[in-house]
């Protein structure tokens, strides 16, 4: 049926309607109604997305033009959607994972008050709406609307429990960090408008291919877009907001801060791949920044004790891998990793939510241990997630991570070495988390031990579905050396993404895979011996530096926040009071003084008046005769 593409606007519209119903009726609707509206709208969107995906699969690209969003002089920015293979895959991830997380939330959030429950679901729906707008947008401006929308929803949901002051601070931090990136994105859009007076993807990329943009322009635009992506996708130097974003409810962390929103930067760069393929310098920068982020975040994750913080740093690290792939020109690998990461990271976050739920809000893994007996489903699914993220074949993470490592190897074997090291750290910290949490003896209070229970089906079903996806999700991108025609994703994106050509002998490829798999398994065994009977101990030396996240937050605080605050104090206390007020008061005082002096002229003495008159007349004559030409 062809005409499903005619109604693509329903996909974002339904969550928007859900947002309005839940947002406006949060005090009047019952919780089951809110859940039905919230989940139902996403489910229908998901069904439509599958339909759209099937339509688009064969290369059937659809551009929908609705109305002129901005029309100033010659510049016309239409409100348009572009549905192609790239956006349709993201549609599936967003609505599919989004639906599972909505379902999970109905149970996870059920202890909230009715009105907050409604508020929560309205925010989630608004988020899905913004994210859909972001990936469906047919030009940079529509994308930017969604881009800002997800930033807003992220802010609202991190600060969802707004009565806690630190949560509000975390929300502000996320918002401000994002704004820095957004500004760069905005400048890139302005630059495009100045140079090409269009922002539509098709026109911009055609113009770039016809060399209508100078190399300098392309470099600046791609760099600015990348800065935008570092904000949204939590890369160095703007990554510190993401771990703090764990203040929000756990399903939010799963949805926004792992599966969807943070991949917006990857999507944006993959979408602009034609621009990037013309700009070698920004590509290198992206690869190095991505690799540095992957490594830095992985080292921090080694020593975190908050279950969600470990996952958060793991997310930052995985995003770094995706950027590494983008920087190596392996756009397909990056998108592939986005997809598999969405599955296993959502799974891990939801699993951690299940653990936190069972522990009655406890997040410190030092107080857990031995949970595998009580939380069987959670344990098994969490284990699957860990194996997937560590990259053991045939789980999904193996295929996507292998594709990334391979692309890094082709670009530069040094990059490959560092990336492999980061991947080993990934395996180590994930299994450290798993063993500390689920094996050994329970280290919490008796009350907590008594309270331990498996989560209800609304929470375990999404876990199971995501676990299955985490296992099989990689099969869409089986490397060609294993199976001819196995790389379905690669063929899918053959025309859309300008991947750098890979040429490496099958023997090398096998060797790389064997190396990474062997080392990962060794790491896991090492972690098993080290952490299976975890005893609480204080970190010392280098471990303490890692536990304190390399003191990056403190560095930013000392280097940026404090000077700005000091400057603010200076300006408000000194500059404003002395200089600005001084100027204003000075003008007033000058006028008062001047008029007081001028008043003396009016003495009432006739002689003075006449004298003034004579002087003035003489002056007028002088001006008249000598000065006027």
Partner 1 sequence: MPINYYIFLSLALFCIGIVGVLTRRNAIIIFMCIELMLNAVNLLLVAFSKMHHNAALLAGDATTTAGTDGQLFVFFIMVVAAAEVSVGLAIIVMMYRNIHSVDVNFLNRLKH
Stretch that binds partner 1, among 6-14, 33-41, 438-446, 604-612 (CB under 8 A): 604-612
**Residue with structure tokens 């099937």?**
54
Comparing CB distances to partner 1, the nearer of 2 and 624 is: 624
Are 26 and 119 spatial neighbours (Cβ–Cβ below 8 Å)? yes
Shortest CB 603 distance to partner 1, Å: 6
Q: What angle do CA 569, 571, 572 make, to 5 degrees?
A: 65
- Whose CA is closest to 171, among 239, 121, 245, 234? 245
Stretch that binds partner 1, among 13-21, 286-294, 503-511, 608-616 (CB under 8 A): 608-616
Shortest CB 627 distance to partner 1, Å: 22
Residue 616 lies near partner 1 (rule: CB under 8 A):
no
Comparing CB distances to partner 1, the nearer of 485 and 607 is: 607
Shortest CB 622 distance to partner 1, Å: 16
Residue choice 214, 491, 508, 603 for contact with partner 1 (CB under 8 A): 603
Number of other CB atoms surrounding residue 362 within 10 Å? 17
Question: Which residues, at least 6 apart from 259, have a Cβ–Cβ distance to it below 8 Å?
Answer: 93, 97, 98, 101, 341, 342, 345, 346
Interacting positions 434-493 with partner 1 (CB under 8 A)? none
Stretch that binds partner 1, among 41-49, 80-88, 270-278, 610-618 (CB under 8 A): 610-618
* Whether the bond into 203 is cis, omega within 30 of 0: no
Residue 606 lies near partner 1 (rule: CB under 8 A):
yes
- Whose CA is closest to 483, among 397, 390, 391, 399? 399
CA 331 to chain centre: 18
Are 407 and 287 spatial neighbours (Cβ–Cβ below 8 Å)? no
Stretch that binds partner 1, among 38-46, 115-123, 149-157, 609-617 (CB under 8 A): 609-617
Which helix (H) or strand (E) segment holds residue 63: the answer is: strand 62-72
Residue 555 lies near partner 1 (rule: CB under 8 A):
no
- What DSSP line would sit under 249-318, residue for residue? -HHHHHIIIIISGGGHHHHHHHHTHHHHHT-HHHHHHHHHHHHHHHHHHHHHHTT--BHHHHHHHHHHHH
| Site size for partner 1 (CB under 8 A) | 10
Interacting positions 583-602 with partner 1 (CB under 8 A)? 602
Residue 620 lies near partner 1 (rule: CB under 8 A):
no
Residue choice 505, 540, 605, 624 for contact with partner 1 (CB under 8 A): 605
* DSSP state, residue 139: B
Shortest CB 605 distance to partner 1, Å: 6
Residue choice 485, 595, 604, 626 for contact with partner 1 (CB under 8 A): 604
Comparing CB distances to partner 1, the nearer of 537 and 595 is: 595
Residue 611 lies near partner 1 (rule: CB under 8 A):
yes
Comparing CB distances to partner 1, the nearer of 73 and 607 is: 607
Residue 608 in tokens? 């003075």
Are 392 and 382 spatial neighbours (Cβ–Cβ below 8 Å)? no
Residue choice 211, 614, 620, 622 for contact with partner 1 (CB under 8 A): 614
Residue 120 in tokens? 């929560």
Stretch that binds partner 1, among 246-254, 460-468, 533-541, 606-614 (CB under 8 A): 606-614
Shortest CB 592 distance to partner 1, Å: 19
Contact footprint for partner 1 (CB under 8 A):
602-607, 609-611, 614
């Amino acid at each position: 049926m062809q005409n499903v593409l005619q109604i693509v606007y329903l996909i974002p519209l339904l969550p928007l309607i859900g947002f309005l119903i839940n947002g406006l009726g949060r005090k009047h609707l019952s919780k089951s109604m809110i859940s039905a509206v919230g989940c139902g709208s996403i489910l229908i969107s998901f069904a439509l997305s599958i339909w759209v995906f099937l339509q688009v699969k064969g290369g059937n690209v659809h551009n929908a033009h609705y109305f002129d969003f901005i029309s100033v002089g010659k510049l016309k920015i239409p409100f348009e959607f572009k549905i192609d293979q790239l956006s349709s895959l993201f549609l599936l991830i967003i609505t599919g994972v989004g639906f599972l997380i909505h379902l999970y939330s109905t149970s996870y959030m059920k202890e909230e008050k009715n009105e907050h429950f409604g508020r929560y679901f309205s925010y989630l729906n608004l988020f899905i709406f913004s994210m859909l707008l972001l990936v469906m947008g047919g030009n940079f401006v529509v994308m930017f609307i969604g881009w800002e929308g997800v930033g807003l929803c992220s802010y609202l949901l991190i600060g969802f429990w707004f009565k806690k002051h630190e949560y509000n601070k975390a929300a502000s931090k996320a918002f401000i960090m994002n704004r820095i990136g957004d500004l760069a994105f905005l400048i890139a859009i302005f630059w495009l408008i100045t140079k090409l007076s269009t922002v539509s993807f098709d026109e911009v990329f055609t113009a770039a291919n016809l060399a209508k943009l100078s190399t300098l322009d392309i470099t600046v635009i791609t760099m600015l877009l990348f800065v935008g992506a570092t904000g949204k996708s939590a890369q160095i130097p703007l990554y510190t907001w993401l771990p703090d974003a764990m203040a929000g409810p756990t399903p939010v962390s799963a949805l926004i801060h792992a599966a969807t929103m943070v991949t917006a930067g990857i999507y944006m760069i993959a979408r602009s791949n034609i621009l990037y393929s013309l700009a070698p310098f920004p590509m290198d920068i992206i690869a190095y920044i991505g690799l540095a982020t992957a490594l830095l975040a992985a080292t921090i994750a080694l020593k975190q004790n908050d279950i969600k913080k470990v996952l958060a740093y793991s997310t930052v690290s995985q995003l770094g891998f995706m950027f590494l792939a983008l920087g190596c020109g392996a756009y397909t690998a990056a998108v592939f990793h986005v997809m598999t990461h969405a599955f296993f990271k959502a799974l891990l976050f939801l699993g951690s939510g299940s653990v936190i739920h069972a522990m009655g809000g406890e997040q410190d893994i030092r107080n857990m241990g031995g949970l595998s007996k009580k939380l069987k489903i959670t344990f098994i699914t969490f284990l699957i997630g860990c194996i997937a993220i560590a990259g053991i074949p045939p789980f999904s993470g193996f295929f996507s991570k292998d594709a990334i490592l391979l692309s890094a190897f082709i670009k530069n074997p040094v990059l490959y070495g560092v990336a492999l090291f980061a991947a080993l750290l990934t395996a180590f910290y994930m299994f450290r988390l798993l063993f500390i949490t689920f094996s050994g003896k329970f280290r919490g209070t008796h009350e907590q031990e008594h309270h331990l229970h498996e989560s209800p089906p609304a929470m375990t079903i999404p876990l199971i579905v995501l676990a299955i996806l985490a296992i099989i999700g990689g099969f869409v991108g089986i490397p060609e050396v294993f199976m001819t025609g196995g790389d379905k994703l690669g063929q899918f994106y053959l025309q859309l993404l300008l991947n750098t050509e890979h040429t490496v002998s099958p023997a090398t490829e096998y060797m790389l895979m064997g190396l990474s798999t062997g080392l990962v398994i060794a790491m896991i065994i090492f972690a098993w011996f080290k952490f299976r009977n975890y005893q609480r101990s204080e970190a010392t030396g280098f471990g303490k530096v890692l536990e304190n996240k390399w003191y990056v937050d403190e560095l930013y605080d000392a280097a940026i926040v404090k000077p700005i605050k000091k400057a603010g104090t200076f300006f408000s206390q000194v500059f404003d009071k002395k200089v600005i007020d001084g100027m204003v008061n000075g003008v007033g005082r000058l006028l008062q003084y001047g008029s007081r002096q001028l008043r003396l002229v009016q003495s009432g003495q006739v002689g003075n008046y006449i004298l003034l008159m004579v002087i003035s007349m003489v002056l007028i004559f002088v001006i008249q005769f000598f000065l006027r030409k």
